[in-house]
Amino acid sequence: MKLWLMVLLGLLASTAAGIDINDDFDDPALQERYRAIINETRCLVCQNQTIADSNAGLAVDLRREIRAMLESGASDQQIVDFLVGRYGDFVLYRPPLKRTTWLLWASPVVFLLIGLAVVGVTLMRRSKQPIELDGDEWAPLSFSPSPSTFSTWRLYCCRFGAARD
Amino acid sequence: MWRYLIPVLLFAGLVAFFARGLQLDPSYVPSPLIGKPIPEFTLPTLADPNVSLSDRDLRGELSLLNVWATWCVGCRQEHGYLVELAAQSGLPIYGLNWKDDTDAARRWLQQLGDPYRVTAVDADGRIAIDFGVYGAPETFLVDADGTILFKHLSPLTAEVWQREFLPRIAQAAGQ
């Protein structure tokens, strides 16, 4: 069963890599730049695929266009400008940092900071609570639940976790 | 007490966020070409391949450029309205036949009526790329200077015409 799955996945992988592989550039450096660009360009027809992955008509056309531009000596930046000038920043998998995209770029950091703040506040509150042992079941934890809501919540979580184990 | 409200408020915020998200069209990509001049092109016409249509032909009066193809279901859907619109509004509608079979395209216009002043043939889709086309039907509103005022994705309907096109046409006429 596992073997069949592996064979199946192997076959799928070869078809995915098979798009547009038959006409390589003569120059390996050009081929590498081509590969890099088409793997960073979004296909607007099937929006979660790159134009390297997609066989939609538009993706084929754009690959052909990028290929022609590379062959005629265009720089990577010229090709990116060509694409963005027609389809907007959305065509890039890495949109540039600007007024309309800063929130997109900042959101991972913002969420991380929110998470750290929650952890910090929780730890500070907890360190202010008196530590006292009560009952055997909490001995390994070396602190006890206080009547605060958070601790009650934690108590249920710990019990649930222990029961599952 | 108020700390019990936090999850409720968070949940309400999440619901509002997703409710808004559901109403947005994820396939809609704003075109960077709005407010810019139409791309230069010279293409053979559908009626006669020896005659060409160029971007200069679109200058001089307000016009529509409609990207269509016989393989496009949405184009079939809007075609009746385009025929009606061409007759009523008197606005010139230019067609851009995108990556299509020209014989099928001619038959389509014979059978369903021809709303276009001229249809240009973009057989390999090269000019469509310059127009940032990614899904037919697309309809561009082009002013007399050849500036793209607006682009509509998906089939044109009377409602879309009223809501999106008429105010912009009125504004362009007022200037």
- CATH code (residue B115): 3.40.30.10
pLDDT tens digits, one per residue of A79-107: 999 999 999 888 998 888 888 788 889 99
In a domain, residue B11? The reply is: no
List the single best residue of A86, A90, A107 to mutate versus B (max B Cβ within 10 A): A86
In a domain, B16, yes or no: no
Residue B143, in any domain of the structure? yes
**Residue among B4, B33, B129 minimizing CB distance to A61:** B129
pLDDT at B161 over 50: yes
User: How far are the Cα atoms of A49, A89, A124, B94 from residue A85, in angstroms, in the given order?
Assistant: 20, 8, 51, 23
CA–CA distance from B3 to each of A128, A149, B8, B14, B32 (Å)? 19, 9, 9, 17, 46
- Whether the predicted pLDDT of B151 surpasses 60: yes
Mean pLDDT to the nearest integer, B60-76: 95
pLDDT category at A26 given cuts 50, 70, 90 is: confident
The CA angle A68-A70-A75, to the nearest 5 degrees, is: 140
Number of compact structural domains in chain B: 1
pLDDT level of residue A13 (50, 70, 90 thresholds): low
Q: Tell whether the model's pLDDT for residue B137 goes beyond 90.
A: yes
Q: Which residues on chain A are in Cβ contact (under 8 Å) with B14?
A: none
With an 8 Å Cβ cutoff, are B32 and A85 in contact?
yes
Is the Cβ of B124 closer than 8 Å to some Cβ of chain A? yes
Domain that holds residue B55: 33-174
State the pLDDT confidence band at A46, using cuts at 50, 70 and 90.
confident
CB contact under 8 A, A45 and B130: no
The pLDDT value given to residue A1: 66
Distance in angstroms (rounded) separating the CA atoms of residues B170 and B143: 11
Q: For position A107, what pLDDT does the model report?
A: 93
Residue pair B130/B118 in contact by the 8 Å Cβ criterion:
no
* pLDDT above 90 (res B54): yes
Tally Cβ neighbours within 10 Å of residue B32: 16
Q: How many of the other CB atoms lie within 10 Å of CB of A62?
A: 26
Q: In terms of Cα–Cα distance, which of B148, B150, B146 is closest to B168? A: B150
Single-letter code of the amino acid located at A152: T
How are beta strands B63-68 and B93-98 bridged, if at all? parallel
pLDDT of residue A55: 85
Residue predicted with more confidence, B27 or A68: A68
CB contact under 8 A, A47 and B27: yes
Which domains are seen in chain A, by residue range? Answer: 2-91 (1.10.8.640), 102-164 (no CATH)
The answer to whether residue B114 is domain-embedded is: yes
Task: Note which residues in 85-114 of chain B have CB less than 8 A from chain A.
Answer: 99
Q: Which two tokens stand for residue B77?
A: 């859907």
Q: How far apart are CA A24 and CA B107, in angstroms?
A: 39
Q: Are A152 and A129 in contact (CB under 8 A)?
A: no
Partner A contacted by B27 (CB < 8 A): yes
**Tokens 């269509």 belong to residue:** B68
Which residues of A fall below an 8 Å CB-CB distance to B?
44-45, 47, 57-58, 61-62, 65, 84-88, 90, 149
Determine the Cα–Cα distance for residues A120 and A100; give it in Å rounded to an integer. 31
CB < 8 Å to B126, chain A: 61, 65
Per CB-CB distance under 8 Å, the chain B contacts of A58 are: 125, 133-135
Is the predicted pLDDT of residue A143 greater than 60, yes or no?
no
The answer to whether residue B95 is domain-embedded is yes
**Is B154 within a domain?**
yes
Quickly list DSSP for B81-147: HHHHHHHHH---EEEEEES--HHHHHHHHHHH----SEEEEETTSHHHHHTT--SS-EEEEE-TTSB
Average pLDDT, stretch B137-152?
A: 95
Find the closest chain B residue to A148 by CA distance.
B3
Cβ of A87 and B32 within 8 Å?
yes
CA distance B119 to chain A (A): 21
pLDDT score for B28: 80
Among all chains, which residue has been given the structure tokens 């890599």? A17
Q: A132 or B109: which carries more pLDDT confidence?
A: B109
Query: Residues of B with CB below 8 A from A149's CB?
Result: 3-4
**Helix %, strand %, coil % of chain A (to 5):** 65, 0, 35
Instruction: Say if residues B118 and B95 touch (Cβ distance below 8 Å).
Output: yes
Q: Mean per-residue pLDDT for B2-9?
A: 88
Lowest mean pLDDT among A92-101, B84-93, B127-136: A92-101
Any A CB within 8 A of B74 CB: no
CB contact (8 A) between residue A44 and residue B135: yes
Q: Which of A26-35, A144-153, B4-13 has the lowest mean pLDDT?
A: A144-153
Task: Report which of residues B102 and A140 the model is more confident about.
Answer: B102
* Residue B131 falls inside a structural domain: yes
Q: Is residue B2 part of a domain?
A: no
Residue B49 confidence (pLDDT) above 70:
yes
- Give the lowest-confidence range in A46-55, A57-66, B134-143, B162-171: A46-55
Q: Establish if B59 touches chain A: CB-CB under 8 angstroms.
A: no
Q: Which residue has the higher pLDDT, B23 or A5?
A: B23
User: Cis peptide leading into B137, omega within 30 of 0?
Assistant: yes
The confidence score (pLDDT) of residue A149 equals: 53
